[in-house]
Chains A and B, each alone.
Chain A
Amino acid sequence: MADQSTNGSQLEAVIVDGGRIPFQRSGTGYNDLMAYDLGRLAVEGIISRAPIDGGDLDRVIMGTVIQDVNTSNVARESALGAGIPNHVPAHTVTQACISSNQAVTSAINLIKAGQAKAVLAGGTETMSDIPIRFRKTFRQKLLEARKYKSISDFLKFFKGLRPSHLLPEIPAIAEFSTGETMGESCDRMAAHFGISRQEQDEYALRSHQLAAKATNEGWLDPELLPAAVPPDFDTIEHDNTFREDTSMEKLEKLSPAFIKPHGTITAGNSSAFTDGASASLIMEKEAALQKGITPKAYLRGYTYVAQDPEDELLLGPAYATPKVLDAMGLQLSDIDVFEFHEAFAGQILTVLKTLNSDTFAQEKLDRDQKVGEIPMDKFNCWGGSLSLGHPFGATGVRLVTTAANRLHHEDGELALVAACAAGGQGHAIVLERFDG
């Protein structure tokens, strides 16, 4: 198979194992934990069941989006905290919702460049403990106060200080460049491409039902790393994010969350704030085989794309999909398993619609013909971010892991993973099932 990034190198990256601690709605199961703790649990879970020891790793890479200043290199802290030996370097990557995709592709690069034989790539995110800051004026005063010496200096502190300066500043999920929240932007985009409220609710319902089915059938079990949460150590074994009992009636009743009253995006057809972490073991193929390890899948070509954050904030997969397929000489019809990140139902439906649009292909992709229609029976069959939840920094590894597991479960050969991210960016990667 053609591989866009094979520069005469024979080194191939494979995913040996992947998993995640069960995703939890923010403020629930992991409410008292830091992102570091979640990352630690995921690393512990994957390395404890790994066919290699922690000391055999050459690198740990983890994605995260909202950083805790106490653990700014959360990959390192999580790795050490999970008992990975000191000598294994670790770094954190961040690229909004595709942060752990970046962790995976960085791992691939290290392996192809001969820098590493085994990399732990993962991601961690908590929305239960986001950093809330003082406002700028007060922050400046606090920093100045560190230099104060005399009493009169300290009196200066109160000069010009108003009670309102003490109000905290809670970070919004808004684009820095446009000032628009992701929900607003997506709502506009869905309207622009003519995605109805009903379609969105129907898609959301499908996602929840599929997640419930995959959970009940035990299909997700291989990727779920039970999390024993201190101090009580009640073991969390499943996601609490999806709603098995949801229905069109319930979804229809919800009012728009962002654009009122005409918007179509509601809490019901959006992905919710989620806490979670993921980890995968990525190895150089020959090194794995030498150790008697049977990998799950090859990690083949991948790509990153970027568009206008104003109008195409979450349309990345529509660009990344044809780009990676073209580079590998593949057609959409060659793909057996699709795993796409679902930020909003409106977003995913827009992506599906634009991929299947000749006009979009001609105007935006510089192609004569549409990319094609993705068959829904191959698409996000075990639920998606809408139902399983979306801990920003951790989702990418979930997608790759699920895709690899589905290849075996559904007897497919090729899988395509794609995801959108804030900043108007996107990513896609192709996996090929490994047969021992």
Chain B
Amino acid sequence: MSYLSTENEDGVLVVTLDQPGEKVNKLDEQLIGEFQDLLQNTDPDSIEGIVLVSGKESNFIAGADVEMLKNKSAPEGIEELSRRGNKLLLKLENYPKPVVAAIHGSCIGGGMEVAMACNYRVASEHSDTTMGQPEVQLGLLPGGGGTQRLPRLIGVQNALTYMLTGKTIYPRKAYKLGLVDELTHRDAVLTAAKKAVAKINKDNFERKDKRSLLHQLMEGLSPLRKIIYSQARKRSKSKTKGNYPAPDKIIDCVKEGYENGMEAGLELESVNFGKLAATPESEALVNLFFAMQGAKKNSDEDKGREVEKIGVLGAGLMGSGIADVSANNDYRVLLKDQTVEQAGEGKKDIWQRLEKKRKKHIISSFERDRISSLVTPTETYKGFKNTDLVIEAVFEDLDLKQSILQEVEEATSDHAIFASNTSSLPIEDIADAADRPEQVVGMHYFSPVPKMPLLEIITTDQTADWVTATAREVGIQQGKHVIVVNDGPGFYTTRILSPFMNEALMLLEEGIAIKELDSHMKNFGFPVGPAALFDEVGIDVAAHITKVLNDLFAERGVNPSTKPEELFEAGYKGRKNKKGFYRYKQENGKTKKDEPNEEIYEFFGGSGRTSMDADTVQQRMTLTMVNEAAWCLQEDILHNPVDGDLGAVLGLGFPPFLGGPFRYIDREGADTIVERLQKYEQKHGPRFTPADILKEHAQSGEKFHQD
């Protein structure tokens, strides 16, 4: 055995899980095999019980090995794997002597399923300790008995909530729910687990039902349970628009197990697990998962230089967001704006988010103080001398950005990097004003920065390698998935968004209603509709982007809609001035989106709207984005299709179950995509002209992704 080591401590068999050469323990076939052998070869009469503990510093079992799932044939191989696992865990659960899990660190997915098969769980209160069943996020279900054991431990309703969202469960909550039986500090979990073995042997531990009275009542009666299942289906349907098959299957398994017994439940779980693994949705999500992991790694880490202190210019939504993710990851930040009061407002936002976390007991008031103290509002460049990186998030104006760049070069030392958070201006143009153009880079964050997982780094021909490596490292430290792209108007994300938004305006001009347009795109899988997105991004920003990208599209014979400019001149800015495609109302001090703004139709041919076929709308919209992504790959804006997929999904909300533009092309076939584009090209002109690279792939049949 190489994963498991055992030691008999006072009659208790302590089994330590420690996968050699890995940072985390993962549930894989070897682990299952070793477990089987261990149970087979241990005489229950020779021991008092078993304690499972991890040999890793901060994880119990971090989850099933996703690589293993990818390499198995679906559905058969995966189904078989799940059966094998379930058989083992049943054996563990029914072992004649008590089996106790001593949990410190992440105990996720398959790890949590192993823990749940034990008779008793002790967990550390440490913030490293996290539990959860996030399989749904990979288009899968908990295939190791999770759909059966979790409802039995914490109730059907609670279990469905966690399995359908994949939400993390922190130790205190886990204890409250009844998922863990005891909490202690990290260095006492093993002792507590051994004591638990003795306790169970002596008193036959009986778990208290921790469900609320309402839950007990609802779940105790079969007709009420039916309501629970149908409500859960309804809720997930409204969220997934039917694009994700996993939630329904999860509910099926829970229902089967609860109504017809565990054995039936486990059987259906294995079958459904195999089925889900074979879906293109799951395949796309799993590929995305690997791409996201890759975007958290910096292969050039040693090329980068140390960053301790970051200057952020502009304390608006973007600037304070960038300061937020920096301070939360231990960088000291000078947050500069025109007045110290404005800068203070930015700090206030950060503090309020921390305060929210404090109220939820995620951090202490001291942690709130410490993190917020890392952000100092200022109106001068005092203290910028030893900043290693300055990120500007000022108004999108080339002259302004250039003059800011010069100020920064003046105020900082020779080693400082200047990063622009522009969303469209070519970095090269900004760097024109630089004394140290090799230290100028684009760091394009997405709003709201603390929530959006993507950072798009833009390099020019002049950007030094160490500068790119440093910026990437900072982005990863800030918790972002980082893609690096080449410079150009709109780089990658803004550039592919632009024709997509343009198409929305075209459709509006053709007569579609705002609500219909948005609802078609949401049903297709985008998190927000394009009209709502206009309001969020800002119509003023859209007008600016249209201008910046104009030449680029003109070269291809495309004349983008002039509506953004017209709307902007008529005073439309979107949510920020509550005048956009939607109306806005004030509720509890927050601006809330209301019904579509009918007045805006005067720019789109008047109030008479015509209904349009969903498929046409969805295809026209999506194809423009997908085609533009191909242009970006062709023109070397993108280094590879993986970055293109990540950028579109994480930055723009491209439907994750489609895996990104390039996965989508591969799935549909480049020839099909080209065919559709050409069909629309005939009707609507050159904005649908397929990129050459698409035609090449269509001809050769080659895929963009090799795996």
Contacts and interface: CB of A to CB of B under 8 A. Distances in A.
Interface stretch (A43-51, A115-123, A175-183, A318-326): A43-51
A81 B355 contact: no
Contacts of B377: 226, 228, 235
Contacts of A45: 376
Chain A interface residue number, banded? 20 to 34
Contacts of A228: 340, 343-344, 347-348, 377
B369 to A, nearest CB: 5
A48 B332 contact: yes
Contacts of B334: 48-49
Contact of A51 (B330, B332, B371, B385): B385
A231 interface: yes
B439 interface: no
A175 to B, nearest CB: 35
B386 A233 contact: no
B351 A51 contact: no
B382 A49 contact: yes
Interface in B333-351: 334, 340-341, 343-345, 347-348, 351
B373 A44 contact: yes
A144 to B, nearest CB: 31
A55 B351 CA distance: 23
Contact of A233 (B344, B371, B385): B344
A231 B354 CA distance: 11
A81 B348 contact: no
| Secondary structure class of chain B's binding surface, majority of residues | helix
A82 interface: yes
B114 to A, nearest CB: 35
A51 B386 CA distance: 6
Contacts of A366: none
A52 interface: yes
Interface residues of B, number: 29
Given A48-B334, A226-B377, A228-B377, A81 B370 contact: yes
B308 A231 contact: no
A234 B383 contact: no
A82 B373 contact: yes
Contacts of B376: 44-45, 48-49
A40 interface: yes
A52 B386 contact: yes
A232 B332 contact: no
Contacts of B330: 83
A237 B341 CA distance: 9
Given A226-B377, A237-B340, A81 B332 contact: no
B383 A50 contact: yes
B309 interface: yes
Contact of A80 (B343, B351, B370, B386): B370
A396 interface: no
B345 A81 contact: no
Contact of B351 (A40, A54, A226, A233): A233
Contacts of A41: 373
B372 interface: yes
Interface in A285-322: none
Nearest to A228: B344
Nearest to A85: B330
B332 A83 contact: yes
A230 interface: yes
B67 to A, nearest CB: 37
A37 interface: yes
A153 interface: no
Nearest to B385: A51
A411 interface: no
Contacts of B340: 226, 228, 235, 237
Nearest to A226: B340
Contacts of A43: 373
A47 to B, nearest CB: 8
A49 B378 contact: yes
A50 B378 CA distance: 13
A83 B351 contact: no
B156 interface: no
A233 B343 CA distance: 10
Nearest to A40: B373
Contacts of A32: none
A83 B309 CA distance: 12
Contacts of A82: 370, 373
Interface string A224-252: 00101011111101000000000000000
A50 B371 CA distance: 18
Given A45-B376, A228-B344, A233-B348, A54 B385 contact: no
B341 A235 contact: yes
A230 B308 contact: no
A334 interface: no
A178 B356 CA distance: 50
B358 to A, nearest CB: 11
Contacts of A373: none
**Highest count of chain B CB atoms <10 Å: which of A49, A50, A228, A235:** A228
Nearest to B384: A49
Nearest to B374: A83
Contacts of A3: none
A230 B369 CA distance: 10
B308 A235 contact: no
A51 B382 CA distance: 9
Interface of B: 308-309, 330, 332, 334, 340-341, 343-345, 347-348, 351-352, 355, 366, 369-374, 376-378, 382-383, 385-386
Please provide the 10 A-B residue pairs with the shortest distance between their CB atoms, ordered closest to farther: A49-B383, A48-B376, A233-B348, A228-B344, A235-B344, A83-B374, A82-B373, A81-B369, A44-B373, A49-B382
Given A48-B376, A81-B366, A83-B330, 14 more contacts: A44-B373, A44-B376, A47-B332, A53-B309, A81-B369, A81-B373, A83-B332, A83-B373, A83-B374, A226-B344, A226-B377, A231-B352, A233-B351, A235-B340
11 contacts: A44-B374, A48-B334, A48-B376, A49-B334, A49-B376, A51-B385, A228-B343, A230-B351, A233-B345, A233-B347, A233-B351
